[in-house]
Amino acid sequence: MSPSQKPLVFIISAPSGSGKSTLTNELLKLVPNLEFSISYTTRPLRGSEQNGKHYHFISIEEFNRMIAAGEFLEYANVHGNCYGTAREFLRQAGRKGNDLLLDIDVQGAAQIKRNLTDSISIFVLPPDRKILEWRLRNRSEDSEDVIQRRLLTATREIEEYDKYDYILINDKLEESVERLRAIVLSERQRRLDGPRSEEDKRYFELAESCRLANAREKVQPILASFSVPAPSARS
């Protein structure tokens, strides 16, 4: 992307334990000029996290000051803590000629979609509830209480999947990374008018297979494993 172009904004959301951090870390290694937006949060720093790398850890007073000053592109309360994306990050990415990747929850994603209508949203789903539970346990980060809470929240979050442009079912890691990469590269390519190489066409095909309309059928058994009714039964 040239520095004068508007950055593409990719939003990625998922229930905790689906593999979103693993996927975004791999994606950032593979795709140049893609920058991870470091959010501001009032939650305490966890074990191996570093201030300014994973998040900017700030006080609730500072967070409220940033809200009042209009410094957030979006913000939300997630699991009792405040999280927000700074407008400045988007400006900086634009100046550097980078696209931006936001790892934010479903409330934040809805706000961004309203403000930046051309942003691209991706929802990561686990293959089913049992596998999500296994991944949460195997990660060995949370107590049993927290795991049960995360599973309950997952059910609510999964209901929102059909508000996203792309659905990524994170089954085999390598394939998921390849699909995620294809989504980013094909969206970049879409912006350029010009002949497409065979490789570009392959990316398009792979990305298209993750489009909401094309993924609905594959999502049904996953919804059922969380006892989430299909959208038609919900409205």
Structure tokens at 161: 């999947």
Least CB distance from residue 180 to ligand ADP, whole Å?
11
**129 Cβ contact partners less than 8 Å away, ≥ 6 residues apart:** 151, 154, 225, 226
Site string for ligand ADP, 161-190 (x = CB under 6 A): ---------x--x--x--------------
Contact flag: residue 76 with ligand 5GP (CB under 6 A): yes
Candidate list 22, 107, 111, 153; residue touching ligand ADP; CB under 6 A: 22
Q: CA-to-CA distance for 168 and 59, rounded, in angstroms?
A: 34
Choosing from 43, 87, 139, 211, the residue that interacts with ligand 5GP (CB under 6 A) is 43
Whichever of 136 and 219 has its CB closer to ligand 5GP, that residue is: 136
CA distances, 159 to each of 95, 116, 163, 234, 235 (Å) = 36, 22, 9, 9, 12
* Choice from 83, 161, 164, 226 touching ligand 5GP (CB under 6 A): 83
Distance (Å, whole) CA 203 – CA 28: 17
The listed partner (ligand ADP, ligand 5GP, none) that binds 43, CB under 5 to 8 Å by sort, is ligand 5GP
Q: Least distance in Å: CB of 105 to ligand ADP? A: 11
- Looking up tokens 């309309």, which residue turns up? 213
Question: SS3 sequence, 48-77?
Answer: CCCECCCEEECCHHHHHHHHHCCCEEEEEE
Nearer to ligand ADP, 13 or 189 (CB): 13
Are 38 and 192 contacting, i.e. CB atoms less than 8 angstroms apart?
no
User: Residue numbers of the site for ligand ADP (CB under 6 A)?
Assistant: 14, 16-22, 135, 138-139, 170, 173, 176
User: Residue numbers of the site for ligand 5GP (CB under 6 A)?
Assistant: 16, 39, 43, 74, 76, 78, 83-85, 103-105, 107-108
